[in-house]
Structure formats: C-alpha cells, structure tokens
Amino acid sequence: MRPSAETSGGARWRQVLLPFLLSLFRGALPDQIRYSIPEELAKNSVVGNLVKDLGLRVLDLPAQKLRVSAEKDYFTVNPESGDLLVGDRIDREQICGKQLLCILDFDIVAENPLNIFHVAVTVQDINDNTPLFKQSKTDLKIVESTKPGKTFPLDPALDSDAGSNSLQRYHLNDNEHFDLTEKQTPDGRKYPELILKHSLDREEQNFHHLVLTAVDGGDPPRSGTTQIQIQVTDANDNPPVFSQDVYRVSLREGVPPGFSVLRVTATDQDEGTNAEITYSFHNVDEQVGQFFNLEKRTGEITTKGGFDFEIANSYTLGIEAKDPGDLAAHCSVQVEILDENDCAPELIVTSVFTPLPENSPPGTVVALIKTRDRDSGENGDVYCQILGKAEFVLKSYSKNFYKIVTERALDREEIPEYNITVMATDRGKPPLSSSTTITLHIADVNDNAPVFQQASYEVHVAENNPPGASIAQVSARDPDLGPNGHVSYSLVAGDLEPRALASYVSVSAQSGVVFAQRAFDHEQLRALELTLQARDHGSPALRANVSLRVLVGDRNDNAPRVLYPALGPDGSALFDTVPRAAQPGYLVTKVVAVDADAGHNAWLSYHVLQASEPGLFSLGLRTGEVRTARALGERDAARQRLLVAVRDGGQPPLSATATLLLVFADSLQEALPDLGDAPAPSDAQAELQLYLVVALALISVLFLVAVILAVALHVRRSSRPAAWGCFQPGLCVKAGPVGPPNYSEGTLPYSYNLCVASQSAKTEFNFLNVTSEVGPPGELLCEDASWVPSTNHGDVGVPFASDTVLKVQMGMFSLIYPNKKMKS
C-alpha cells in the first residue's frame, strides 16, 4: 500500500525537523549514553535501545544508517530495531586487566543527517576465575633457632577477577607452630606471610607440612591451594639486612635492553659461608621476569626488554636476599616508567561520502576521521591538518573526531578525483605525525551546456549539387559524462519557412553533418541562414545554438538572353533604319543581353558571326553597341544583316545569337515605299528552266558565252546595289552578297537573295521558311548557315524559297550539271 500524501509529507517534515531539533536540544541530551553489562554475555545479547535513549524514531533508521565506530567490534546496532547488541566475546580480564573500573568507550555514527553520539559501556566482572598459585608446592628452610614471631613472606595467589570477585583472603590449615597473616603491596596486591608461633626443634621434627588456601569473594566463592613444606635446619644466627626496605627508580620507556636500573645491597653479619648472600625475585608478577633481570650475586637489576608506558606505567619488584643458612631479608623496588613520545598518532577514517556530486554546496561533509594517540599528556595531544587542498577544510567535530568539509564549489570537469591527505601530529618533543589519504570521486551533474567549436560557420556550396550530399558539419563538445555529455544536433530555424527549409537541408542528430535535400540554384537562392542546436541528454537538458551560413556558388548553367533586338508579335525580326549620310562611329543600335549567372559567368562579350557587308559596321566587345565603321558606299546594299553572338565568361562558355536587320534610309517612307504599282515578279522556276535549256543546248559551244554571261550578271549586280524590284503590291526584292565564296565546290563567288516584305504598311520584314511544297526536287535551295535562327529567342532563319523568296546561285557548276543539287 502506498502511503498517503499527508503521511509522506509528514515523514518528510520529520526528516527535516528531527536533525534541527536534535541539534537545538542537544544540551538536553547527556554528553554520553551509559550502559552496564556483565562480561561474557552471549553474542547478539541486547545492551540497550539506542533509538529510545537517543530520542530517535525506528522509521528513520534506514535513512540514518546508525553504526558503531570503535577499534574492535564488541558491539553492533540492529538496523531494524535500533538495539545495541553484543557483537563479540567480552572478557573483562582481557580488556581491562586489574583495573577496578572497566569501561568501553565508543561512538555511534548517524550518517543522514551526520551526527555522533558517545556511548560508554561498563563491563561488570563476574567470578569466572579461580585464584591460582604459581607453584603447587613451596619449600622453606627455617633455622631451628629462629625466634617465635619471625615472618616468612609467601608467593601470592593470582586472581584475574576484580572487585569483590578478586582474591580476598588466605587461611592456613591448623597446626601447632605456624600462623598466617596478610600483607599488601603498594600497588594494592595482597600476599600471605607465614608467622612462627613456637620455637622449632629439628631433632624433634625436622619437616612440617602446611596447606595454604586462597579464597576470592565471589558467590559462590572460588579457592586455590598450594603445599608448603618447611625444613628445620641448624642455626644461622644473623640474617641478611637490606640497606633500604623500599627502592624507588624512574625509567624512560625507550631504554634499551641491558640497561642498568638499580643495584640492591644486603649485608650479613655472619662470617664465612653464612655471610654469602644471593639475590632473587620474590613475590613478583609474571611480567617482571619479562622486563627485568636480577644478578643473583651482585644484586644488580637490568632491563630485559623494551617498556611501553601505554601498557604499564609502573612495576613493583620484590627482592629476597638469602644466606646459605636460608636466613633471608626482603625489600621492594618501585620502578616508574616515564612516558616518551614513541607512539605516532593514528588516523581512523570512519566515513567517506563518495562519490560526491559536483554541485554540492560549500560546507558539505566529505569524510569523518577519528584520531588516537596512545601516549599521554602533550605526547598524546593531537591536532590535524589537510595538506595542500584548498577545496577542503578540516573541522573539529566532537572530542577526537574531525570532519572534512568542502570549502568552495567543486568542478568535476576540472578535477574528477581528489586525493585528500590528512596529517595528524602530536605535541611531543620531537613531535610525531602520521597521515592517511582519502580518495574522493566527484560525481557528474549536468552543469555544462554544449559548446560549438566555432562561434559561427560558413560554407560554400556550388549550385547543381547532387541531392543528399554532405555540405557541412558542425561539432559541439560537452565535458560532462554519460548522458550529460552526449550531444545531439537539430535544425531549429532558418530564413525560410519551416516546410520550405526542410526541403532544402537536414542535419544528422548524431554526427552534426548537414545534408542538402535538393539541388541548389544560385539564381534562386544565393545564401541560406540556418540556426543549428546542440542539446545534451541531461536532466534538465542544456543546449546551445550556432549560426550556419550556406553560400550557394554560381556555375555557368545559364546562357545569355538577348533583350534587344526583340522579335515581333508574330516572331519576325524587326529592323532599324540608318541615315544614308551616317558618318563613321554613328551609333546605329545596341544589342542588349543579360545572363542570370553571376560573376565571371555573367561577364558578356559581343561578336559578329555574319555580316552582309563586312567592315561596314563595328560591334563593341563589352557594350554591344553597333556603330558605323565607314560611310555607306555606292556599291553597298541599302539593307544589311548582322548575326551577333553573345558569349558569357564561363568555362565552357555559353552563348546566344541575335539577328540585326539594318536599312539605310533617310525616312521611314523611303525604307518602305509604296509598292502597289510594281509589276509582278517573274516566275523564278521558268527562268531557271530556261537557263538550263540554254545551257544544255550550248554546253559544247557556248562555254565562253557562259563565262561572259556570268561576268555580265556580276557587273549588272554591282551597278544596281540598291535596286528593289516590285513583283506585287507589298513585296520588294533585294540583292547582295551572302557570304564568302567557296571555290572548292565550283560555285560562283556571289549568290543573290530575294526578300519580300509581308505588307507595305508594316515597319518590319518577314523571312519565311522553305516548305517541301515549294518546288520540284531538282530546284536549288538556300543552305546558307548564316541564316540559322537564334537558339536564344527563337528567331526564324531567313532562306528564300517558294512563291515568296527565290535564291539563285549562278556558276559554272550549275550550267554544266543542271540535274545535280549544288552544295552551299
């Protein structure tokens, strides 16, 4: 079942308010939570309920992540109930030794929100150890002359328990000669002394057997025994005597083995062998033999091993001096161990919050560190510092805890990982230090928008490109990781309508390659402004725009177009008049043309392809202006024709042609006279047949006549250059040279053109095409290439044929071979 909105909202408020209230009322909580348990509790035994004692809620435990921060895992926290449980065997004697109060201090760490609670568990002793003597049998020699009241120290029993469960008393079995008393060392340990109640008589009884029992204070009590065998010896009157009952000496814990601690001295007033004294340890702890060595002849005490102030700061040595008669004296040596700064501080990393989001605010806790120094005093006073990382600072948190917090904002793109070195230094002389390194990984957040490699892009694309071709590529970089750094591209705007824009270009979302969707036409679209967008896949997504300017380059794909001279409404060419008295350089007309291309491809030049009268007119190479090159001569025809080519500057060049019809006349009436009374033109076909008949009849005898006739016709043409023959109303005839001679095919150097105006009232001439119905196959047709119509504006070619136009070529070939068609 999903919680209601009110319930979930209340839980969120409690999660927010609880840390605040805890910090607000922290003074109301005890500085340290205390529990008391007996030792040797079974594993998972409940020590106490932390949730109840700390004022927490069970529902908040999964988020708070309570855990124990201690050197040894004696305790654990139940994550479900919040109970503090026993995690391992707790042996008070092993943990605290002989200390009367055994307390285990540790910390409970709550990670969300971060908080630390100090907990102290007092371990109570149980009577689980029996008093034990080091030896199951003790041998003593007592001189029979020993006076009653003499005491003899005995080795104590050892009981690891503490308090009331420790060793409490000794008792001796009933006997006639000896009694028992208890003494206590300066460090509080009890040991028994045997007291002689009555004089001994070796001759009466030379051995006495006693039983010494040690009893602790447990319930029920435990006890241990040892056998004491006393041998009665002959008299040795003077026992050894120490110069001091108690010797005191101080040692630094760093002294080397073999270092001389002290020499004890005892004297014996006897003489001879009875005055020879031997020294030995008496009534000492087991550790004494591990750290000290006693020379039995000289009484010199030397060190045997290294000392550690942190383990034991003092030792009590019991020394016995005995002569050969078993007379003995006893003294104690109090050795105090002086602390040296021999323990470097320890750094314990209890929590590391990694990876850390790069947008974490300053003051965010990165790690929690605990320090410990086993030295005491200033030697154990520790301070910490961070080495060389300005992004982090170390703050004291609680007692010996420090927290590492961020000092400023982090940037994963600049530094993705930090190795934070923390150094702990004590205040000893010389100071000791230690360090630890914490590796902190920075988690990425989407804080970087894509960045294009260029502020703007500009590409040149030649027109007529193939559709689907790649024309450009944009690239953007996003330093973020994963989806935050994955960039996709899109087309968001342009200077065309969206639908039209999509028909021109597209962009690959993955690569940023821009494709042409169609062939570009420079004449329609010279430049295209696009706005491309790069967008990452973060949440929320970040984006950046860049402009792309596509310049469509021109290709020579448009031929020039002639604007003037224009064609008439019926497709016929118009004519221009030229005054007969025009001087050289007179501007006759101008050929006007345009080219849709640009640049060099639209650079036009004008050239004369054909001219009726070469040299009569000049044409401006760049301007297209037609000017008279010389004055009109008598032999020049009144009607002139120019075929002009207009070429562009492309490679290869494209061209168009224009036909100019020029008439020399002083007025329009002179150019178009009234032809209503003119005789009808002769039948050209009949005249041609007559020529053929005459030529066939006289071919063998009139060759010379034919030559003369040709010359005569030439002279006739030259003498009448501007004559117009009227064949019917509205028709006029014009003669003139058409092009250069072609002697290789046997034609005469001149041909005659006959042109007719369609109506006398119009100011233009119509040049009609030849049709197949004009005449018989054998008639001569005009094949002059100079009359091919312009490909640009649809000019119609101007041959002469049929009943409207006749073209006659006269020459020797025509006369000799009348049945063959003559090539132009």
Q: How far apart are CA 218 and CA 242, in angstroms?
A: 39
- Close Cβ partners of 307 (under 8 Å, ≥ 6 residues apart): 251, 253, 254, 255, 291, 337
- Close Cβ partners of 5 (under 8 Å, ≥ 6 residues apart): none
**Can you say how many angstroms the Cα of residue 350 is from the centroid of all Cα atoms in its chain?**
31
End-to-end alpha carbon distance in the chain: 107
> For 336-340, what is the mean pLDDT?
88
Q: Token pair of 377, please?
A: 């005093």
Alpha helices in 698-797 (DSSP H): 703-719
Tell me: pLDDT of 620 over 90.
yes
Q: How far apart are CA 701 and CA 146, in angstroms?
A: 201
**For the chain, how many residues are written?**
824
Q: Token pair of 657, please?
A: 């042609």
For residue 443, report the phi and psi dihedrals to the nearest 5 degrees. Answer: -85, 140
Confirm if 14 and 60 have CB atoms less than 8 A apart: yes
Confirm if 302 and 371 have CB atoms less than 8 A apart: no
Tell me: pLDDT of 529 over 90.
yes
Q: Token pair of 533, please?
A: 């967008």
Confirm if 319 and 330 have CB atoms less than 8 A apart: yes
Q: Token pair of 133, please?
A: 């003597």
Q: How far apart are CA 454 and CA 464, in angstroms?
A: 28
> Peptide bond before 221: cis, by omega within 30 degrees of 0?
no
> Peptide bond before 450: cis, by omega within 30 degrees of 0?
no
Determine the pLDDT at residue 786: 35
pLDDT, one tens digit per residue, over 754-763 is 333 333 333 3
> For 330-343, what is the mean pLDDT?
89
Buried b (16+ CB within 10 A) or exposed e, 745-770: eebbebbbbbbbbbebeeebbbbbeb
pLDDT, one tens digit per residue, over 561-612 is 999 888 777 767 778 889 988 899 999 999 999 999 888 899 999 999 999 8
pLDDT, one tens digit per residue, over 436-474 is 999 999 999 999 999 999 999 999 999 999 999 999 999
Q: How far apart are CA 444 and CA 447, in angstroms?
A: 8
- Residue 264's CB is within 10 A of a number of other CB atoms, namely 21
- Close Cβ partners of 111 (under 8 Å, ≥ 6 residues apart): 64, 65, 67, 351, 353
pLDDT, one tens digit per residue, over 749-800 is 333 333 333 333 333 333 333 333 333 333 323 333 333 333 333 333 333 3
Q: List residues bridging with 435 in a β-sheet.
A: 423
Determine the pLDDT at residue 783: 33
Identity (one letter) of the amino acid at 552?
Answer: V
Q: Token pair of 683, please?
A: 């039948």
> For 216-228, what is the mean pLDDT?
91
| The three-state (H, E, C) secondary structure of 384-396, written as one string | EEECCCCCEEEEE
Q: pTM of whole model > 0.75?
A: no
Confirm if 192 and 227 have CB atoms less than 8 A apart: no
- Close Cβ partners of 178 (under 8 Å, ≥ 6 residues apart): 172, 194, 195, 196, 197, 208, 210, 230
Q: Token pair of 50, please?
A: 């932390």
